[in-house]
Structures are given as structure tokens and as C-alpha cells.
């Protein structure tokens, strides 16, 4: 059973797990995955006992899929959105897309957000070159 709900503002560790020395980030839960599925072309492990949370960072607006152990706590005083509001805003910005063929309990896909990595909306829309190396 998921501890957090869609639309809730949370504090989380995006890299290295809950015990890492990396700084905490804050974001809004876009969706909760409780069944295995595909996300950005990769298999994503999730279950009712070990849910995955797709979280949109409040500062960068990038999305990331994290296990519950990486979500530290709900953030007080930031105001909570309902599930419909959080998803509709993410759909409007193009952060998530509808996919009727997704297996699991959700039909929303987050582009480029797997295992703690995220693709910026500018790169996703082709506004940034893929190769960042110097020639």
C-alpha cells in the first residue's frame, strides 16, 4: 500500500538512496505505480509492496521515478493538489503522455524518467542537441 498519494508535495533523495549525502529535493507526486510496466522504453519494477512514485521537481520541472524508500516525507504547508489537477498540469506541459497500451494500473508515461534520471523538456522537444561532447 503506497504511503504517499498523487498530488502530494514530498521531500526526496533523487540520487543515492535515503542514506546518501546528496541534498534533498522537493516535488509533487504525479503518479504512483503499483504494477510493473514500461516507462520511457524501459521495464520498470513496481508492486503494491514496493511502489514507484513519479515525482516532478518543483524547481526544475523534471520528472523522476523513485522507490518509496527514497521519498523521505510529505512537505507541510505547501498545499496539496488533487490527483486530477497534478496529472492534468503535467499533461499540459508535455511531461507525461497518454498510452493506452501500458500494462499496470496507470496509463500515463513519463518521458525519459527512469531510475533517478530525467530528460529535460527542452531536450525532449528537440531544442537541445543530444551530443554534449566537445568535437
CB within 8 Å of 20: residues ≥ 6 apart: 13
Residue 63 belongs to domain spanning: 9-124
What separation, in Å, do the N-terminal and C-terminal C-alpha atoms of the chain show? 50
The reported pLDDT for the residue numbered 80 is: 45
Does 132 fall in a domain?
A: no
Q: How many domains is the chain partitioned into structurally? A: 1
Mean pLDDT confidence for 56-79 = 80
CB within 8 Å of 134: residues ≥ 6 apart: none
Answer whether residue 97 shows pLDDT above 60. no
The reported pLDDT for the residue numbered 84 is: 53
Write the CA distances from 66 to 71, 84, 115, 130, 135, integer angstroms. Answer: 7, 21, 7, 24, 35
Does 22 fall in a domain?
A: yes
Does 2 fall in a domain?
A: no
Does 113 fall in a domain?
A: yes
Does 115 fall in a domain?
A: yes
Does 43 fall in a domain?
A: yes
Q: How sure is the predictor about 28, in pLDDT bands with cuts at 50, 70 and 90?
A: very high
Amino acid at each position: 500500500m503506497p504511503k504517499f498519494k498523487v498530488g502530494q508535495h514530498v521531500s526526496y533523495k533523487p540520487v543515492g538512496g535515503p542514506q546518501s549525502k546528496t541534498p534533498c529535493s522537493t516535488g509533487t507526486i504525479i503518479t504512483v505505480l503499483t504494477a510493473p510496466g514500461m516507462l520511457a522504453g524501459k521495464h520498470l519494477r513496481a508492486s503494491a509492496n514496493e511502489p514507484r512514485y513519479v515525482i516532478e521537481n518543483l524547481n526544475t520541472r523534471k520528472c523522476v521515478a523513485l522507490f518509496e524508500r527514497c521519498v523521505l516525507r510529505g512537505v507541510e504547508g505547501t498545499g496539496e493538489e488533487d490527483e486530477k489537477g497534478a496529472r492534468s498540469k503535467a499533461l499540459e506541459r508535455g511531461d507525461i503522455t497518454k498510452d493506452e497500451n501500458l500494462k499496470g494500473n496507470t496509463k500515463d508515461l513519463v518521458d525519459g524518467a527512469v531510475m533517478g534520471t530525467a530528460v529535460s523538456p527542452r531536450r525532449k522537444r528537440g531544442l537541445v542537441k543530444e551530443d554534449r561532447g566537445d568535437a
